[in-house]
Each structure stands twice: as structure tokens, then as C-alpha cells.
Amino acid sequence: MEWTCFLLLLLSTLVYCSLGQGGASLSVSPDRSQFFKYESVTLNCEVQGNSAGWRLKRHTVSGERSDCGRKWGKPEGSSCIVSLIPSHSGVYWCESGSGEHSNAVNITVPAGAVILESPVLPVTGGDSVTLRCRYQGTPSNLTADFYKDGSLIRTETTGEMTIPAVSKSDEGLYKCNNSSSEGESPESWMTVTAVILPPTAVPTPIPSPSPAVPVLSMSLTRLLCSLLVGSPYLLVTIILLVKCCRSRTQGETTVPRVTHQDKYGDRVEEE
């Protein structure tokens, strides 16, 4: 099982890297990557614009590379209907005559009786995803163990496991086994794409209206400091002004004495 899964992943990588992206996408109905033997699946090439010249191709684990309608599948327009058998396990994609191609998907048809129903296409982060462990020929609501990357993550009595909001950490290889020993499913890779959020709108700041009359404010501490610093200069100024005023007043009220001699030759002072 693990070797088949490894080959599918390797083939998918080689196909994707060698062909490059094109203007089409491949969808699978039912939307899962594992199928029971003899189940029917519809592969549809969704092409942007004219779909003429597009063909559905595959590369199986046995090395076969061919188009739908040649040895396998029934073409119906841009779709291909396939009744699957284990040798059909491989990588499928759409390709145009000019070499453009769609996404590639892995399809697994195990020889055993247990499959894991998981999305064949990438899921978007935040979406709810349900994985189901099914046994061919019996009801699907049997107790099952679910594994991710080889480690047991959950046991469900209903046979299905739901991830309410997937994230990048949920990406990996999943498989399941039935508790009634009917067998184990192959592994399937689940891809989780990141959510692309729109840029956050930055609100334009609203300027505060300027007051019509400016308001002067001063804290009590600043006012006291200003008074303490300015008081000595004010006191000295007042003292100097008082002294000047007193000096001018004394100068104006003092009458100088006049000295002269009388007729006898003696000095006489007059006010």
C-alpha cells in the first residue's frame, strides 16, 4: 500500500513539473481519490474558452501513458467515464494539442475491500472536511481508526472523521482501518491551500477641529515655579524704584543756602 502511494505521489510530481500549468482544470465525480474495483468515475476537463483539442490522459503505476478512449474510458465531449480496476491507479490530467495541461490528480483503486473517502482536489483552509472509512459490501458506519502520516489520530464509531476547520497543519497522508479486521485503506494525500484575505481597509483619520479661541492652561506646579523664580527679580525692581523716587523727592525739597557779606564785612547765610 505504502509503495503504491509513494509511486502515485512521485508520478504526480513528475507530471506537474514537466508539463507546466495551462488554461484548464480537471474535476472528478465523485470527488474523492480512492475507489472500489468496478466503480464508475467521471473525469471532466473544464477548459476556459474553446475545449476542442483537449484530451484526458493518464500515467499509471505500471508505466502506461495513454489517452481516454484508447484501451480505457469512454469519451463524452470534454469528459471521460471510466469503470475502474486496480491497474487504473495512477495520475490523470487534461492536455491540449499545443502542450497546455490542467492540474493532475491521483486516483487509487486498491485490491482490498477498504477505502478512505477523502477530497481529491485541494481544500481551502477554514473549510470543514469529512473523511470516511468504507468497507465494500457493508454499511459504512463501522468503527474505524484514522491515521495521519502513520500515527493514529482518532477512532470513530461512525466510520467518519470531521475536521471542522482545516489548516495547513492538517495537510498530509491519511489512511484508515476497520476495527472488524476487514483491512486497511491505501494512503491518500490531502492538500490544504491557504486562505487569501483581502487587504485590510485602513480608515482615514478624522482631524480634530481646532478651537475657535485658544485656551491657555498651566499646571499648579508650573505656576508656583514661575512665581518663585520671578519673585526675587520683582522685589529688587520694586526696591530700586522706591529708592529712586525717594532720592528725587529729597532733591526737590532741599533749598540751597546763599552766603554773602554785610556792610560790616561779616558773612551772612540766607535761605
CATH of residue 148's domain is: 2.60.40.10
Sheet holding 144-148, edge to edge: 151-156, 144-148, 172-178, 188-190
pLDDT at 47: 86
Segment 31-52, tens digit of pLDDT: 999 999 999 999 999 988 776 7
Q: Structural domain tally of the chain?
A: 2
The whole-number pLDDT of residue 268 equals 52
Which of 93, 111, 129 is the endpoint of a domain? 111
Q: What is the pLDDT of residue 18?
A: 40
Query: Do the domain assignments include residue 153?
Result: yes
Q: Is the same domain home to 10 and 23?
A: yes
Same domain, 24 and 62: yes
Candidate from 15-19, 123-127, 151-155, 266-270 with smallest mean pLDDT: 15-19
Best CA proximity match to 78, nearest among 52, 98, 99:
52
* pLDDT score at 215: 35
Asked if 28 and 84 sit in the same domain, the reply is yes
Q: Global pTM?
A: 0.63
List the domain range (segments joined by +) for residue 190.
Answer: 112-194
- Listed residues 194, 224, 247: the one ending a domain: 194
Distance CA 172, CA 185 (A): 15
1 and 92 in a single domain? The answer is yes
